[in-house]
Amino acid sequence: MLLRIALSKKPSKLTAITAAVALAIAPMPPALAQQNKGPPIIRDTEAEQVLRDYTRPILRAAGLEKQNIQVVILNESGFNAFVADGRRIFVNHGALMQSETPNQIIGVLAHETGHLAGGHLAKLREQLAQAQTQMIIAMLLGAGAMVAGTRGGNSNSGLANVGAAAVAGPQEMIRRTLISYQRQQEENADRAGVKFLTASGQSAKGMYETFKRFTNDSLFAARGTDPYLQSHPMPAQRVAALEELARSSPYWDKKDDPALQLRHDMVRAKISAFMERQDTVYRRYPLSNDSLPARYARAIATYLHGDLRSALGQIDGLIQVQPNNPYFYELRGQALLEGGKAAEAIAPLRKAVQLSNNAPLIEMLLGQALVGTDNAAHTDEAIAILRAAVGRETEAPLGYTQLAMAYGRKKDFAQADLASAQAAFLRGDNKTARELASRAKTRFAIGTPGWVKADDIVAAKPLPGQNSN
């Protein structure tokens, strides 16, 4: 299952500070990055599992394995990765698509972990706050000079312009200070990233390959936009320093494990199939390509674009090659479920749940199939599975949406309202969440666990950036 889920916070609230810390390798401005259609976050067990496997050794080497740091996949096709809050690494799906080897994206994750381990975000915030104070003082002084100049009589005189220069001067100075500060952080993150890779027995070649590619791109993109960048050939120096450091590692020539490369290519095939236009998918994965990833991409594209029968045949072919791959059964179940065959979706989804060690997002899909059969005998099982799933996966509204339907079937309207309120809350729709939770409160006995949960939602303050209406 590849879910495109609305973030409870608006992506635009990842603020200018985030943009400043974002990898300098993203050549596109944030405004452009937001033009993409669709919800900002992608949820998919297979992709998330691969990213967890990529980050685990690095986080361990960085001493951050206990921090529960998550990798979040953003629904953006450009290349970007950044840290925003000290507990999450954001990665565009475009960064996965454009990384040809696991080692390339692992290098980016190592660099981002370098920012986390160095506490760069907090330091940059401090620096920004300082800069803002300096700027305010400078502007006050500038304004004073301007008034003085105007008082001098002729507002067109040279003196009047001193004020304007006094305003522009410090701003430019502060901007340059911040850029040089950020550059230093980038170099520190590079060094830390290489250190983590070497400590976990991995090559930094992929990191170097990725950054080298973007040095060229960013110089191209920057031409004619930022004279300061043009006059400072810093990126080339940074990449040269990175190359020297990376080559000094005993693991420089170490190749990715072929099994990991296959998993990487399967995830890229899945992202392409779900996110890209059908003709693009077939151009990337033409019928002449008989590899497993190409067959995976075409099977997904076939189900998405309407031919369920043909898609099921293709998925069964995949299952023959890898009979223990949970995501093939998940895909079979999803295709059947979305094709209106909920009852038939149950068996493959049970298998997917079992093979994935009870991955909660897949359990939610199974719960949806059980609820979707309209068979009362399945309702209690659906509730048990969904409750377990929402307990372990607290950010996906789907589990609560399906729970609400299951409770509705049982005419347990208190629990149904509560689950609907929780789903609305996770979608960021606070108004609906409060209304439903208020109604749920009238249906529970005061002080019971359900009443307390409903009361929490009624009392909850909107997250920063969330609509309070």
User: Would you tell me which residues interact with Zn ion (CB under 5 A)?
Assistant: 23, 186, 189
Identify the DSSP state of 367.
H
For the bound state, the minimum distance from the C-beta of residue 138 to Zn ion, rounded and expressed in Å, comes to 28
Q: Which residues contact 458 (CB under 8 A, 6 or more apart)?
A: 434, 437, 438, 441
Q: Are residues 176 and 228 in contact, defined by beta-carbon separation less than 8 angstroms?
A: yes
For the bound state, the minimum distance from the C-beta of residue 81 to Zn ion, rounded and expressed in Å, comes to 8
Nearer to Zn ion, 23 or 433 (CB): 23
For the bound state, the minimum distance from the C-beta of residue 206 to Zn ion, rounded and expressed in Å, comes to 15
> Which residue is listed with tokens 């994206």?
105
**HSE-up of residue 125 (Cα within 13 Å, Cβ side):** 8
Q: What's the one-letter identity of residue 249?
A: S
Euclidean distance between CA atoms 245 and 189, whole angstroms: 13
Nearer to Zn ion, 193 or 372 (CB): 193
Radius of gyration of the chain (CA): 26
Nearest C-alpha neighbor of 368 from the set 395, 404, 332, 394: 404
Q: Which residues contact 404 (CB under 8 A, 6 or more apart)?
A: 416, 417, 419, 420, 423
Nearer to Zn ion, 242 or 370 (CB): 242
For the bound state, the minimum distance from the C-beta of residue 243 to Zn ion, rounded and expressed in Å, comes to 17
Nearer to Zn ion, 89 or 281 (CB): 89
Euclidean distance between CA atoms 104 and 311, whole angstroms: 32
What is the maximum span of the chain, computed from C-alpha positions, in angstroms? 90
Nearer to Zn ion, 48 or 186 (CB): 186
For the bound state, the minimum distance from the C-beta of residue 215 to Zn ion, rounded and expressed in Å, comes to 13
Nearer to Zn ion, 23 or 315 (CB): 23
Q: Are residues 421 and 437 in contact, defined by beta-carbon separation less than 8 angstroms?
A: yes
Nearer to Zn ion, 222 or 460 (CB): 222
For the bound state, the minimum distance from the C-beta of residue 21 to Zn ion, rounded and expressed in Å, comes to 7
For the bound state, the minimum distance from the C-beta of residue 186 to Zn ion, rounded and expressed in Å, comes to 5
Euclidean distance between CA atoms 332 and 297, whole angstroms: 13
For the bound state, the minimum distance from the C-beta of residue 233 to Zn ion, rounded and expressed in Å, comes to 18
Nearer to Zn ion, 115 or 263 (CB): 115
Long-range contacts of 409-415 (CB under 8 A, 24+ apart): 409/371, 409/376, 409/379, 410/379, 410/380, 410/383, 413/443, 414/440, 414/443, 414/444, 414/450, 415/440, 415/450
Nearer to Zn ion, 1 or 189 (CB): 189
Nearer to Zn ion, 116 or 362 (CB): 116
Nearer to Zn ion, 215 or 402 (CB): 215
For the bound state, the minimum distance from the C-beta of residue 276 to Zn ion, rounded and expressed in Å, comes to 27
For the bound state, the minimum distance from the C-beta of residue 23 to Zn ion, rounded and expressed in Å, comes to 5
Nearer to Zn ion, 26 or 349 (CB): 26
Residue ranges of the alpha helices (H) in 356-459? 360-372, 379-392, 397-409, 413-427, 430-443, 449-459
Strand arrangement of the beta sheet that strand 41-43 belongs to: 3-5, 41-43, 70-74, 88-92, 81-83
Q: Are residues 61 and 199 in contact, defined by beta-carbon separation less than 8 angstroms?
A: yes
Q: What's the one-letter identity of residue 369?
A: A
For the bound state, the minimum distance from the C-beta of residue 354 to Zn ion, rounded and expressed in Å, comes to 40
Q: Are residues 1 and 362 in contact, defined by beta-carbon separation less than 8 angstroms?
A: yes
Euclidean distance between CA atoms 173 and 296, whole angstroms: 53
For the bound state, the minimum distance from the C-beta of residue 458 to Zn ion, rounded and expressed in Å, comes to 41
